[in-house]
């Protein structure tokens, strides 16, 4: 059963704590992405990775960190430096396209993070 | 950076009616995609249209693309209650082929 899994579905943390969100895919996709979604808003790109051991900052990378040690896994750490971390976090992957062009993305179910 | 802007922000129609959502974008693109998101869930890819295409169909979905006006529309015909969701356009700009940029979405409600 192929797809993207994110865990946990809901996550609660105290302010000042780092927290790591899991994202795993068994679609054999090279590219993986992390997005943040605030209520009633679209998706904003945090980080993306086109290949193992390589990743790039997206539009809102400050206060976040990632690693890509395995093709299947792209965990996101929300650090205490992130000013407003409460949000819905979505992970996605994408099959390779011609010349690195992106076609459709496949999304996980998301993790809702609440920091108090 | 928000490349795409959907219009309207919210739409409520009667079941069986057609729903039309529009998307405008700013820079030249390789392709434009539409996604659906049910409340509290991940996004699901609906349809992709390339920059050299003008119209594409998939089941009850019809997408048009006008690159001269930098705009696209998504038409859902014969709407059903299950179509209630948020719909997002996403563009793959020429300037950054390795990522796509999502708009702010249209919230569609289908009244029974």
The mean-pLDDT minimum among A17-26, A101-110, B19-28, B36-45 falls in A101-110
Residues B93, B29: contact at Cβ < 8 Å? Answer: yes
Question: For the segment B88-106, what is each residue's pLDDT rounded down to a tens digit?
Answer: 999 988 887 778 899 999 9
Is the minimum CB–CB distance between A54 and chain B shorter than 8 Å?
A: no
CB within 8 Å of chain B, chain A residues 83-112: 88, 90, 92, 99-110, 112
Give residue for tokens 């563009």: B91
Q: What is the mean pLDDT of chain A?
A: 93
Spell out which residues of chain A touch residue B104, defining contact as CB-CB under 8 Å: 41-42
The pLDDT > 90 percentage for chain A reads 83
Mean pLDDT, residues A3-13? 94
Q: How far apart are CA B59 and CA B76, in angstroms?
A: 9
> CA nearest B86: which of B39, B54, B27, B20?
B39
Q: Look at residue B59 in the predicted model and tell me its pLDDT.
A: 97
A39 in B contact zone (CB under 8 Å): no
**Residues B67-93, mean pLDDT to the nearest whole number:** 96
Q: How far is A31 from chain B (nearest CA, A)?
A: 9
pLDDT above 80: residue A102? no
The predicted structure's pLDDT at residue A2? 64
Q: Are B88 and B27 in contact (CB under 8 A)?
A: no
Q: Spell out which residues of chain B touch residue A59, defining contact as CB-CB under 8 Å.
A: 1
Name the average pLDDT for chain B.
93
CB A62 within 8 A of CB A55: no
Q: How deeply is B84 buried, as exposed, middle or buried, from its count of CB atoms within 10 A (0-12, 13-18, 19+)?
A: middle
User: Across the interface, do B99 and A102 touch by the CB < 8 Å criterion?
Assistant: yes
Strand duo B71-76 + B29-37: pairing: unpaired
Rounded mean pLDDT, A61-82 = 96
**pLDDT 10s digits, B16-34:** 999 999 999 999 999 999 9
**Residue A79 pLDDT greater than 80, yes or no:** yes
pLDDT at B1: 46
């Amino acid at each position: 059963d192929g797809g993207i899994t994110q865990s946990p579905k809901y996550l609660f943390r105290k302010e000042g704590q780092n927290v790591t969100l899991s994202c795993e895919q068994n679609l054999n996709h090279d590219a993986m992405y992390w997005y943040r979604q605030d209520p009633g808003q679209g998706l904003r790109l945090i980080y993306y990775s086109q290949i193992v051991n390589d990743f790039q900052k997206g539009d809102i990378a400050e206060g976040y960190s990632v690693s890509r040690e395995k093709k299947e896994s792209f965990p996101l750490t929300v650090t205490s430096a992130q000013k407003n971390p409460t949000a819905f976090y979505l992970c996605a992957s994408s099959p390779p396209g011609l010349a690195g062009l992106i076609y459709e993305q496949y999304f996980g179910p998301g993790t809702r993070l609440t920091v108090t | 950076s928000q490349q795409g802007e959907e219009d309207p922000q919210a739409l409520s129609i009667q079941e069986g009616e057609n729903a039309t959502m529009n998307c405008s974008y700013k820079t030249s693109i390789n392709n434009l995609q539409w996604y659906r998101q049910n409340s509290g869930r991940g996004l699901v890819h609906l349809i992709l249209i390339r920059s050299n295409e003008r119209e594409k169909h998939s089941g009850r979905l019809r997408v048009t693309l006008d690159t001269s006006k930098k705009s696209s529309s998504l038409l859902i015909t014969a709407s059903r209650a299950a179509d209630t969701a948020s719909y997002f356009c996403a563009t793959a700009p020429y300037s950054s082929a390795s990522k796509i940029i999502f708009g702010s979405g249209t919230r569609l409600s289908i009244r029974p």
